Chains A and B, each alone.
Chain A
Amino acid sequence: MKIVALVVALICFALAVGYGSGTVQFAAHTPGPHVKHAVVFAVLGVVALVWMRFQSGASAPSAR
């Protein structure tokens, strides 16, 4: 699952850069950069990294 989370994070960051620079236009309704799309995918990328961190935490031995 860590690998899946990492791949999801990388895809999200790539989409954020693509939408932010205007190179990705998928499902966009006006030409040019799309800041909202970029911010949403950047935040999703961060959430995916946190998910990856949780996968590490779950497999680590308990501190108790």
Chain B
Amino acid sequence: MLLAVLQGVSELFPVSSLGHTVLLPALFGWRIDRSDPTFLAFVVALHLGTALALLVFYRADWARIAGGLTRSVVRGRIGEDPDERLGWLLVAGTIPLALVGVFLEEPVKRLFGSATLVAGFLILNAFVMFSGERLKRAKSGDIALGALPYPSGVGVGFSQALALLPGISRSGSSIVTGLLVGLDHEDAARFSFLLATPAIGAASVLEIPRLFAPAAHGVLIESLVGGVVAAVTAYASVTFLTRYFRTNDLRPFGWYCLVFGSVCLVLALTKVIA
């Protein structure tokens, strides 16, 4: 249940869920075999729950976006409707992550599994957020999400791929890039969460067979309960974060990553954690 809550919260908060799934078990001495079929099935259920929560939270947006995409394909051109533009921005932003994900996920996972590196990336994540906020304050004027140029949408999509490095947050890097291309905090967060839905959803749907693998039958109920817990926690997280970013910025999350990453780095370097 703790893992399910951790997934639901850290997947959407800009603090790196992947980094936390490496560092927290190391800190608390949880013995997790990441290649065990039962654990993989559990992780698939947690991701499905998170994607479902995002889909439900943004259901009205997705309905309009689907309508906009359909209209533009039928018409044969993208009109001025913000939902059509947003739909194609999401498609353009998802392509880079899909390509980078399928080709680089496995080698990156093998290279960056140690607590020392993950803690280092978490500190880097903090400085990415601090720098993003500083650069944003130096810029004047915001552009609306519906008016975002396509290259900027692709750039935000590319920035999500940085989250393959455990310790770098997907939402953190995409919100920072959104701010740098001219969005305000609220729109940058909204675009990041909308981009997260196909990213998390597609990745977990493709892994559904793991959930029903013979070796995972013993934990099917636990996986489903975990998925529901992750969904409820993710829904609460996205509700909180969309309100939070109306008036606040990324710096508190940056301070959290800096402090937690520094503590873990010291503990890893002094061999207190593996």
Contacts and interface: CB of A to CB of B under 8 A. Distances in A.
Q: Do they bind each other?
A: yes
Contacts of A36: 102, 206
Contacts of B102: 34, 36-37, 40
A57 B99 contact: no
Contacts of B91: 47
Interface stretch (B60-68, B74-82, B134-142, B222-230): B74-82
A57 B77 CA distance: 5
B95 interface: yes
Given A27-B103, A36-B206, A40-B102, A56 B95 contact: no
A6 interface: no
Chain A contact residues: over half helix, strand or loop, or mixed?
helix
A43 B78 CA distance: 19
Contacts of A60: 76
Interface string A9-41: 000000000000000000101000011110110
Given A40-B98, A47-B91, A57 B75 contact: yes
Instruction: Classify chain B's interface size.
Output: 10 to 19
B33 interface: no
Nearest to B78: A54
Contacts of B107: 29
Contacts of B76: 53-54, 56-58, 60
Nearest to B91: A47
A4 interface: no
A47 B95 contact: yes
A53 B73 contact: yes
Contacts of A37: 102
Given A54-B78, A57-B77, A60-B76, A39 B106 contact: no
B32 to A, nearest CB: 22
A7 interface: no
Nearest to A54: B77
A2 B27 CA distance: 55
B209 to A, nearest CB: 9
A60 B206 CA distance: 38
Given A29-B106, A44-B95, A39 B206 contact: yes
Contacts of A57: 75-77
Interface string B85-115: 0000001000100110011001100000000
B77 A58 contact: yes
A58 B76 CA distance: 7
Contacts of A35: 206
B93 to A, nearest CB: 12
Contacts of B98: 40, 43-44
Contacts of A39: 202, 206
Contacts of B73: 50, 53
Interface of A: 27, 29, 34-37, 39-40, 43-44, 47, 50, 53-54, 56-58, 60
14 contacts: A29-B106, A29-B107, A36-B206, A37-B102, A40-B99, A44-B95, A44-B98, A50-B73, A53-B73, A54-B72, A54-B77, A57-B75, A57-B76, A58-B76
- A-B complex: 10 closest residue pairs judged by Cβ atoms: A57-B76, A57-B77, A29-B106, A27-B103, A40-B98, A37-B102, A40-B102, A36-B102, A36-B206, A53-B76
